[in-house]
Amino acid sequence: MLNYLWGFMIIIGTIFAAFTGNLPSVTEAALDSAKEAVMLCITMIGVMSFWVGLMKIAERAGLIEGASKKLEPLLTFLFPSIPKDHKAREYISTNMIANFFGLGWAATPAGIKAMEELEKLEDERRKSPVLGKRGVPKGIANTEMCTFLIVNISSLQLIPINIIAYRTQYGSTNPTRIVGAAILATTVSTVVGVIFAWVMERVKKV
């Protein structure tokens, strides 16, 4: 859907520029944007490589596993229907830790794996005579999927790496000045997201 939307906007913008005599400006803007995109990618590769490397070191040192265990009470509160030994909990905790440190790109693979495991869990519920009543129709996100998506999007961040990289690329004199505001904003968004997921879960049971 987004491909069609972006394609439509580009076509309409190009046609409008042609009729108003601004087509050279559109071409110039496209070339400048392409140049900026390449420069931004180079900057982001360096920053992300550094932090993803630190995450790998932390993982091999056992820090990620230790942090995941510390998250168990929170995971039980947010996802009470997911068995404690289920693989989805490991991927969810890894995703949350990566997001906490501002590594949104590094969190994506774990998020995808978590969704796949949640879908497998839902398949088990559909097939089980005991759990069948809890299963939702195939193709529809269950409560755990929706809650995880909300937590992933709202994501409390201690260090907003992506924003710092963007500010560095565009010449900010103090790229890390955004940290305080980012912690405040993501704290509020995460709390609101968790409350919303909790309320919707209770509404569903009524």
Q: What is the pLDDT of residues 104-128, one digit of tens each?
A: 666 788 888 889 888 888 888 777 6
DSSP string across 117-157: HHHHHHHHHHH-TTTGGG---TTS--HHHHHHHHHHHH---
104-127 vs 143-154: helix crossing angle, rounded to 10: 170
Q: What is the pLDDT of residues 137-196, one digit of tens each?
A: 676 777 888 888 888 888 777 777 777 777 877 788 888 888 888 888 888 888 888 888
Name the token pair of 149.
């998506």
Name the token pair of 126.
């559909």
For residue 187, which amino acid is it? T
pLDDT at 130: 56
pTM reported for the whole predicted model: 0.67
